[in-house]
Amino acid sequence: MICFVALIVFSILGIFSVKYRKLAIAAFDCVFRRVTLRPCQSGMDRKLKNKLVGLISRKNIKLARFVVKRFEVLSWIFTILLLVSIFFSVRGIYFYVVYGNCNGENSGRFCIFDALHPNQEVGFCGDPNIIGGTTEFIMPSVDNDPSLGPENAKVIIIEFGCYGCPYTRKAEAVVRNIIQKYEGKIKFVYRDFPLPTHQNSMMRALSANCALEQDTFWKYHNLLFDEHFEHNFDFEMALDIANELNLDMAQFTQCLETEKYIEEINKDFEDGKKSGVYGTPTFFINDAVVVGPKPLRYFSNIIDNELKK
């Protein structure tokens, strides 16, 4: 069975180097003959055995003797382990392509492919201590927060986000794709969860809510995540964005100075905690919970399943 292992290894190495392709062909011939109950004429199995035993004997003679006596059994063990690892690798890739996660449908567990993806950040902003050890949670309501989509939509997506969180910003591009892809089919709601660890996150949330009362929330919301995310946000910058959007400056300034919507924002934060939110972004898609930025196909799989119900 050592030739079977060699066939897989040399075939993979042969993709990058010509010299391994000849070895892969020899290993294939050996495997084919063994499968058809014929001896391996190339002698590759003996060569591999001698090479392996020789390398081991340089380190440990006793171990080398053990390998010689049980070489066939060890070959079977390594072959089985190799096949199992290939199976799980292929399954993980399939799940990642279909569901957006290598652990399967609706899984929120860590996926190694996310860490290897050059455009995918893994993580979110927050602290489990925010919810204070509470174990009983309730699903969040829509409340009176800014939303897009029909009121009677079959699928309601509620995002708890922080304007100072880089992971909320990372998820923003996918959120916009979701809104565009499922226009007229879903209702998307944004609720504030300003994290105290992010400088001026409350100021950003207050300014967005002040824009809401002038029906310009989503434009202001987008600018906070786009052109003005990296800047040191302050009162003057909030006014600059409002002026850029041609808002009533007297009304906006008074709204921001009086912190008119601070109770509304605090209510969002407390409602989030009651729902188990301890970081951003956190999404509630009907009864499903998604934490952190995920690929579009990950969200689409959940949304499509909800739409079929």
Q: Which residue has the higher pLDDT, 121 or 220?
A: 220
Joined together, the tokens standing for residue 159 give 């995002």
> Residue 281: is the preceding peptide bond cis (ω within 30°)?
yes
Confidence of residue 107 (pLDDT cuts 50, 70, 90): low
Mean pLDDT of the chain: 85
Residues of the chain with pLDDT > 70: what percent?
Answer: 87
> Is it the case that residue 258 has pLDDT exceeding 90?
yes
pLDDT of residue 117: 44
Range 108-136 average pLDDT: 61
> Is it the case that residue 11 has pLDDT exceeding 60?
yes
pLDDT of residue 116: 44
Confidence of residue 96 (pLDDT cuts 50, 70, 90): low
Q: Whose CA is closest to 237, among 164, 159, 160?
A: 164
> Is it the case that residue 9 has pLDDT exceeding 80?
no
Confidence of residue 153 (pLDDT cuts 50, 70, 90): very high
> Is it the case that residue 36 has pLDDT exceeding 80?
no
pLDDT of residue 121: 45
> Is it the case that residue 248 has pLDDT exceeding 80?
yes
pLDDT of residue 115: 45
Distance CA 297, CA 178 (A): 10
Range 192-197 average pLDDT: 93
pLDDT of residue 239: 96
Range 5-23 average pLDDT: 77
pTM: 0.65
Confidence of residue 101 (pLDDT cuts 50, 70, 90): low
Q: Tokens 């294939």, residue?
A: 28
pLDDT of residue 231: 72
Write the CB contacts of 216 (distance below 8 Å, at least 6 apart in sequence).
245, 247
Q: Whose CA is closest to 202, among 210, 212, 192?
A: 192
Highest mean pLDDT among 34-43, 153-162, 300-309: 153-162
Range 30-45 average pLDDT: 72
Q: Which of 26-40, 88-102, 120-134, 252-266 has the least mean pLDDT?
A: 120-134
pLDDT of residue 118: 40
Q: Which of 10-19, 69-78, 185-194 has the least mean pLDDT?
A: 10-19
- Which residue segments constitute the domains of the chain, with CATH numbers given? 2-99 (no CATH), 122-308 (3.40.30.10)
pLDDT of residue 132: 66
Q: Which of 89-93, 222-226, 255-259 has the least mean pLDDT?
A: 89-93
DSSP string, the chain: -HHHHHHHHHHHHTTT-THHHHHHHHHHHHHHHHHTT---TT-HHHHHHHHHHHHHHTT-HHHHHHHHHTHHHHHHHHHHHHHHHHHHHHHHHHHHHHHSSTT-TT--S--HHHHH-TT-----EE-GGGGTT-----PPP-TT--EES-TT-SEEEEEEE-TT-HHHHHHHHHHHHHHHHTTTTEEEEEEE---TTSTTHHHHHHHHHHHHTTT-HHHHHHHHHTTTSSS---HHHHHHHHHHTT--HHHHHHHHHTTTTHHHHHHHHHHHHHTT--EESEEEETTEEEES---HHHHHHHHHHHHH-
Distance CA 33, CA 40 (A): 6
Report strand pairing: 147-148 vs 282-285: unpaired
Confidence of residue 120 (pLDDT cuts 50, 70, 90): very low
